[in-house]
């Protein structure tokens, strides 16, 4: 096994839920588990763990086939299809919602499921944390990742650990234009913040250790509304982060989630809400289909085998974070359909609201403002104009 690269793949999809967009039914988890168990028996994957966060079925797999393996992606697709069959038999809500195609085409990217994968040579002790969020979008991980890998007030190792002192490289994806840029920290920290402060468009995709290019984190970047061209559900991202021995410690990684920052999503994907860190037992979205949740499962990987998990947010240390999230949720809910609870117009374009507004467009008449509005659009923020 020495020197051999192991791959960890986290692939998720909403294939149906019991009682609305609430919680995955255990029978669908069993259906997916049977598919992966057979694949393990045949040697396709080394190990697996199937779970859920809210209404999303989560497949965590280790194997030796590398990132973007058609065999692994087809395996995940088949697991979701089998789970969808059960969901339809049970009459679950939105059965097969995230499966945007009927036939597998070699890679699940662009077909609805969210994907985060990384490949590396195992260290003697290889701790990884899998983060899984519900009722939000990939940019929800922008602020925590910045804190984990670039903020010395969160991560003391950036100052006192010589293995991290040189900083990290952030790979930022423009999900509207399909462009990517790599930024070095700390020297390009302000440039990084200029982009990732717009999380609906600029998403941190990967983080690498600057000293040797070793991968430290990866996030699923699929935006369902941009794939389908309409609102079909929120993206509900997943993330993998490596910890310790040249990367931030587990405690430093989790500390970034001690502040329940506001993220886009929540009810109908149309509202801002606090991201609440919870244990698996609380990974269900009820109030206003939320608030948005995030679960953290810690594993050790040894010879490609998943050891664990540890349910890291199932801890009283995060009780105050959850209490604050509840208070923020209460405050925002009092705004009803008004911003800033409701998303801004650029994000609402990808929800169901345009269908409601369509009937009003011909009723607007010219009004005298006393001035001629001069509208500007920044290409850096919104992309080039298209005729």
Place of tokens 């609402």: 348
Tell me which of 12, 14, 146, 208 is the catalytic residue: 14
Two tokens at 158? 């950036």
Contact 274, 262 (CB under 8 A): yes
Residue (of 144, 346, 129) closest to 262 by Cα position: 144
Tell me which of 146, 202, 231, 350 is the catalytic residue: 231
Interacting residues of 197 by C-beta distance below 8 A, sequence separation 6+? 142
Two tokens at 361? 């467009």
147 is catalytic: no
Residue (of 287, 238, 33, 26) closest to 137 by Cα position: 238
Report the phi/psi class of residue 383: left, alpha or beta, with left for phi > 0 and alpha for psi in -120 to 50: left
Instruction: Quote the DSSP letter at residue 343.
Output: P
14 is catalytic: yes
Residue 302 to residues 8, 122, 124, 209, Cα–Cα distance (Å): 12, 7, 8, 22
CA angle 39, 134, 59 (to 5 degrees): 5
| Bond before 378 cis per omega within 30 degrees | no
The phi, psi pair for 360, rounded to 5°, reads: -95, -15
Beta bridge partners of 241: 129, 217
Tell me which of 23, 210, 234, 284 is the catalytic residue: 234
Residue (of 238, 250, 164, 239) closest to 208 by Cα position: 164
Q: What gap in Å lies between CA 336 and CA 354, rounded to an integer?
A: 18
Contact 177, 241 (CB under 8 A): no
Please count the other Cβ atoms lying within 10 Å of the Cβ belonging to residue 107: 15
Two tokens at 210? 């600057």
Query: Which of the residues are catalytic?
Result: 14, 231, 234
């Amino acid at each position: 096994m020495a020197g051999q690269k192991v791959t960890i793949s986290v692939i998720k999809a909403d294939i149906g839920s019991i009682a609305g967009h609430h919680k995955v039914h255990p029978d669908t988890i069993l259906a997916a588990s049977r598919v992966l168990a057979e694949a393990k028996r045949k040697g396709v994957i080394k190990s697996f763990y199937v779970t859920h966060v809210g209404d999303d079925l989560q497949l965590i797999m280790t194997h030796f086939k590398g990132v973007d393996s058609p065999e692994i992606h087809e395996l995940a697709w088949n697991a979701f299809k089998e789970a969808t069959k059960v969901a339809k038999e049970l009459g679950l809500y939105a059965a097969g919602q995230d499966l945007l195609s009927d036939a597998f085409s070699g890679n699940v990217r662009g077909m609805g499921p969210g994907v985060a994968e990384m490949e590396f040579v195992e260290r003697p002790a290889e701790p990884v944390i899998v983060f899984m969020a519900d009722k939000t979008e990939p940019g929800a991980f922008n602020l925590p990742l910045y804190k984990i890998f670039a903020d010395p007030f969160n991560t003391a190792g950036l100052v006192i650990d010589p293995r991290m002192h040189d900083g990290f490289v952030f790979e930022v994806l423009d999900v509207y234009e399909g462009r990517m840029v790599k930024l070095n920290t700390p020297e390009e920290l302000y440039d990084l913040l200029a982009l990732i402060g717009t999380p609906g468009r600029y998403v941190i995709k990967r983080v690498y250790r600057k000293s040797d290019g070793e991968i430290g984190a990866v996030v699923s970047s699929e935006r369902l509304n941009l794939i389908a061209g309409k609102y079909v559900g929120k993206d509900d991202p997943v993330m993998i982060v490596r910890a310790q021995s040249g990367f931030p410690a587990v405690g430093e990684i989790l500390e970034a989630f001690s502040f329940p920052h506001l993220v886009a999503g929540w009810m109908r994907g149309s509202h801002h809400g606090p991201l609440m860190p919870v244990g698996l037992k609380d990974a269900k979205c009820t109030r206003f289909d939320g608030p948005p949740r995030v679960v953290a499962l810690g594993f050790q990987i040894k010879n490609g085998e998943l050891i664990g998990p540890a349910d890291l947010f199932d801890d009283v240390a995060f009780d105050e974070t959850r209490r604050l999230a509840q208070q923020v949720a209460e405050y925002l809910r009092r705004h009803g359909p008004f911003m800033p609870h409701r998303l801004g117009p650029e994000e609402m374009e990808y929800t169901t609201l345009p269908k409601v507004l369509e009937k009003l467009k011909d009723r607007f008449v010219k009004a005298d403002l006393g001035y001629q509005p001069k509208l500007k659009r920044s290409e850096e923020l919104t992309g080039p104009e298209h005729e």
